[in-house]
Amino acid sequence: MKEAVGAAWSEEWGRVVAAVIASTGDWDLAEECAQDAFERALETWPRDGVPRRPGAWLTTTARNRALDRLRRAANESAKLREAARLDPAGPAAAAGSAEAQAVAAAEAAEGDAVPDDRLRLIFTCCHPALPLPAQVALTLRSLTGLTTAEIARAFLVPERTMAQRLTRAKAKIRHAGIPFRVPPRELLPERTAAVLAVLYLLFNAGYAPGAAGPDQRRVTAEAIRMTRLLTRLLPDEPEAAGLLALMLLHEARAAARTDAAGDLVPLEEQDRTRWDRQGIAEGVTVLEVALARRRPGPYQIQAAIAALHAQAAGPQDTDWPQIALLYAELARLAPGPVVELNRAVAVAMAHGPQQGLALVDALDAAGELPGYHLLPATRADLLRRLGRTEEAADAYRRALELAPTEAERRFLRRRLERTAGTQR
Amino acid sequence: MKYMLLICSEGPFTADPAEMDPQPWIDMAGSRRLTGDRLRDAEDATTVRVRGGATLTTDGPYVETKEQICGFDVIDVADLDEAIEIASKHPMAAYGMIEVRPFWNG
């Protein structure tokens, strides 16, 4: 029974919170009443059995609880009309226990679709008038039911700081009049991009090298769950599906990305038998459906690159010319020096290190990516493959000075030793 | 909801006077714009403080910066998205910036 409630928590928390915000406009009340509804489920489900539609039961229970509380507050402050306006069933429904109402309404809703306000919730959490860290935190808190303490641990900030961030974000929504809605058509593309950016950032919280503790892994899992939900709520948005495919394809390789010591294993050295074939198959299927809509975007292209890597039997079987073309397309749609650096690697693999090196040197000469260790590290790899070992060793040393984590420094040191070894 | 649009410049700039004519924007906002005006330069400002019962009057703005508030508008719209949309169409949005501040009492 605990498991049934626990499963409902992950699946339904966002729906319950969204429904209460939709009918009351009160974010704090929504969280409190969602919490209450789940506590009530823990009491009554063992006795009465799990309702046929747990989500509808929880939503109705939470909404009724919210209306009860507003009504009581309204009675106290003699603002009864406000509550009556909010209560679609009218004052008569106030009679009888909240539980009985919840059951009745859930049964009544059995045939109909329960209104899903989660899309409105996602867009509101990711409103550009909120600072990005607040968007990230609020999305997690409202949509996944992760507690403030869990979110704080995942992002390595004190719980008090995270609580203030959430309080501040909810206050701004209230004070500044940020609407609780799906943006109109003319705003939809840029606002969807903002939502996808937040979800990708959440995914990376547990995916960045050296950052994957259990709290971060949970955030990554929730990011995948939310993106999956978004593809259902926004079926006409191929970039949402593209992002889901990208996440699934990355996640399928997660187990092989680090060795026993927790060090990063580069793609070409990964044990491909440890890749999750089922995850790769799902990612590829999601991507193919998205690409069939013929509206490519940066996430679909990145997913296509990930799919080519994931489907190659070994490093030498990778379709590098195709990957180089995809990076060129990505550079056109979403230009940036990091994309250009990745393109250089693909070009080197497809057409030889000399051509890749020319692209890296152009980036270096333009002063792009100053202080970014992967620029000299990439340069070093290409120089090594060209047999220019002395220059390669110098570039590895430069990369070592810039590398931000110990895991990356260890990796570079090993490369440097190997290069210096061939020098002698 | 009511919002104050603070029309700010980031310092001197050159623009085609026809482009800076606010009238088309005022017409577009229509009845949603309650009031507004351009303000004289900050060098014409006077700052007033009362300390220990004495009124202290100083020349200039309360804080000296390159950025200046050069006008304001009060609009009454449904929500922040509508306020942002109107602000984004103000001629100064392309040269300076518009700060959108919600009213305390909605």
Secondary structure of A84-107 in HEC code, one letter for each residue: HHHCCCCHHHHCCCHHHHHHHHHH
CA–CA distances in Å: residue A279 to residues A179, A265, A283:
37, 20, 6
CA–CA distances in Å: residue B96 to residues B13, B70, B72:
9, 10, 13
Q: Are B92 and B21 in contact (CB under 8 A)?
A: no
Residues in chain A closer than 8 A to B80 (CB atoms): 127, 129, 176-179
Q: Are A303 and A283 in contact (CB under 8 A)?
A: yes
Instruction: Read off the amino acid at residue A181.
Output: R
Distance CA A84, CA A76 (A): 14
| β-bridge mates for residue B68, sequence order | B9
**Per-residue tokens: A72:** 């009581």
- Closest chain B residue to A130 measured between Cα atoms? B80
Among A38-52, A113-127, A216-230, A340-354, the minimum mean pLDDT is found in: A113-127
- Domain-ending residue, one of A64, A87, A113: A113
Report which secondary-structure segment, H or E, holds A306: helix A298-311
Q: Map residue A238 onto helix, strand or coil.
A: helix
- Name the band, by pLDDT with cuts 50, 70 and 90, for residue A398: very high
Q: How far is CA A387 from the centre of its chain?
A: 41
Percent with pLDDT over 70 in chain A = 89
Residues in chain A closer than 8 A to B89 (CB atoms): none
Task: Judge: B79–A187 Cβ closer than 8 Å, yes or no.
Answer: no
Q: Determine the distance in angstroms separating the CA of B38 from the nearest CA of chain A, rounded to an integer.
A: 24
Q: Would residue A49 count as lying in a domain?
A: yes
- Closest chain B residue to A180 measured between Cα atoms? B79
Q: Would residue A414 count as lying in a domain?
A: yes
Residue A34, CB-side half-sphere exposure with 13 Å CA sphere: 29
Task: Judge: A178–B1 Cβ closer than 8 Å, yes or no.
Answer: no
Q: Map residue B76 onto helix, strand or coil.
A: strand
**pLDDT at A366 > cutoff 50:** yes
Q: Centre a 10 Å sphere on the Cβ of residue A175 and count the other Cβ atoms it contains.
A: 15
Total domains in the fold of chain A: 2
Q: Map residue B78 onto helix, strand or coil.
A: coil
Mean pLDDT of chain B: 94
Output the pLDDT for position A106: 45
ipTM score for this prediction: 0.90
- Domain-ending residue, one of A80, A113, A146: A113
Task: Judge: A178–B83 Cβ closer than 8 Å, yes or no.
Answer: no
List the single best residue of A126, A172, A174, A175 to mutate versus B (max B Cβ within 10 A): A175
- B→A contacts (Cβ < 8 Å), by residue, are 1, 3, 78-81, 83-84, 100, 102, 106
- Name the band, by pLDDT with cuts 50, 70 and 90, for residue A9: confident
DSSP A268: G
- Dihedral of alpha carbons B48, B51, B53, B57, sign: negative
Q: Does any CB of chain B come closer than 8 Å to the CB of residue A85? A: no
Q: Would residue A349 count as lying in a domain?
A: no
- Closest chain A residue to B3 measured between Cα atoms? A176
**pLDDT at A270 > cutoff 70:** yes
**Per-residue tokens: B101:** 């501040």
The listed range with the strongest mean pLDDT (A185-189, A261-265, B29-33) is: B29-33
Q: Are A314 and A290 in contact (CB under 8 A)?
A: no
Matching residue, tokens 């392309």: B94
Q: What is the pLDDT of residues A41-90, one digit of tens each?
A: 999 999 999 999 999 999 999 999 999 999 888 888 765 555 555 655 54
Output the pLDDT for position B70: 93
Mean pLDDT of B26-46: 95
Task: Judge: B79–A178 Cβ closer than 8 Å, yes or no.
Answer: yes
- Dihedral of alpha carbons A279, A218, A16, A238, sign: negative
Q: Centre a 10 Å sphere on the Cβ of residue B57 and count the other Cβ atoms it contains.
A: 8
Residues in chain B closer than 8 A to A183 (CB atoms): 81
Task: Judge: A129–B84 Cβ closer than 8 Å, yes or no.
Answer: yes
Among A62-71, A103-112, A333-342, B61-70, the minimum mean pLDDT is found in: A103-112
**pLDDT at A294 > cutoff 80:** yes
Instruction: Read off the amino acid at residue A158.
Output: P
**pLDDT at A30 > cutoff 90:** yes
Complete DSSP assignment for A166-224: HHHHHHHHHHHT---SPPPTTTHHHHHHHHHHHHHHHHHHTTSTT---HHHHHHHHHHH
Q: Centre a 10 Å sphere on the Cβ of residue A96 and count the other Cβ atoms it contains.
A: 10
Mean pLDDT of chain A: 88
**Per-residue tokens: A146:** 């992760």
Output the pLDDT for position B13: 84
Distance CA A154, CA A148 (A): 10
Output the pLDDT for position A102: 47
Between A74 and A341, the more confident residue is A341
**pLDDT at A208 > cutoff 80:** no
Task: Judge: B80–A175 Cβ closer than 8 Å, yes or no.
Answer: no
Q: Centre a 10 Å sphere on the Cβ of residue A92 and count the other Cβ atoms it contains.
A: 8
State the pairing for strand pair B46-51/B54-59: antiparallel
Q: Determine the distance in angstroms separating the CA of B99 from the nearest CA of chain A, rounded to an integer.
A: 12
Report which secondary-structure segment, H or E, holds A75: helix A54-77
- Name the band, by pLDDT with cuts 50, 70 and 90, for residue A138: very high
Among A5-9, A124-128, A365-369, B58-62, the minimum mean pLDDT is found in: A5-9
**pLDDT at A278 > cutoff 60:** yes
Task: Judge: A177–B84 Cβ closer than 8 Å, yes or no.
Answer: no
Q: Would residue A243 count as lying in a domain?
A: no
**Fold (topology level) of B2-102:** Alpha-Beta Plaits (3.30.70)
**pLDDT at B82 > cutoff 50:** yes
Between A75 and B88, the more confident residue is B88
Q: Are B39 and B70 in contact (CB under 8 A)?
A: yes
Q: Determine the distance in angstroms separating the CA of B92 from the nearest CA of chain A, rounded to an integer.
A: 20
Which has the closest alpha carbon to A31: A134, A136, A140, A177? A140
Domain that holds residue A387: 371-424
Distance CA A157, CA A387 (A): 46
- Name the band, by pLDDT with cuts 50, 70 and 90, for residue A111: very low
Output the pLDDT for position B94: 93
Complete DSSP assignment for A92-148: GGGSS-HHHHHHHHHHHTTSSPPP--HHHHHHHHT-TTS-HHHHHHHHHHHHH---H
Q: Are B105 and B7 in contact (CB under 8 A)?
A: no
- Name the band, by pLDDT with cuts 50, 70 and 90, for residue A404: confident
Mean pLDDT of A20-45: 94
Output the pLDDT for position A211: 59
- Domain-ending residue, one of A113, A129, A158: A113
- Name the band, by pLDDT with cuts 50, 70 and 90, for residue A252: very high
Among A84-93, A374-383, A389-398, B59-68, the minimum mean pLDDT is found in: A84-93
Residues in chain A closer than 8 A to B102 (CB atoms): 175-177
- Start-to-end Cα distance in chain B: 5
Distance CA A344, CA A360 (A): 6
Instruction: Read off the amino acid at residue B37.
Output: D
